[in-house]
Structure 1
């Protein structure tokens, strides 16, 4: 599931609202260890672009 959500987030990263919606969906669907891995990946890949969204979703 983690790889699936990474793919989705990469594909919707052009749209801020869609990215946040899919990120919240991913966080709800994944187990805590996968959420941690997703968080690290998101900050590496989208940290500059979506830092406020990431901070809000992973708070």
Structure 2
């Protein structure tokens, strides 16, 4: 079940990546809902994902 939440979170973040404010809002929600090991996975994924989107790099401070 929690794997589904992690995958869904990634999908949502990909969909809202056009707007840094919305991306930050969804990222904060994800931090509240995911388990600690899922947050580590999300952090690794975000580092990779934001390489091509420098406007989203500032959102990583919440992790």
> Shared topology, TM-score over 0.5?
yes
Number of positions where the alignment pairs a residue of Structure 1 with one of Structure 2: 57
Unaligned runs of 5+ in 1: none
Calculate the aligned-residue CA RMSD, in Å.
1.0
What TM-score results when the alignment is normalised by the length of structure 2?
A: 0.84
What TM-score results when the alignment is normalised by the length of structure 1?
A: 0.89
Higher relative contact order at CA 8 Å, sep ≥6: structure 1 or structure 2? 2
Rg comparison, structure with higher value: 2
Aligned structure 1 segments of 4 or more residues deviating by more than 2 angstroms: none
Unaligned runs of 5+ in 2: none
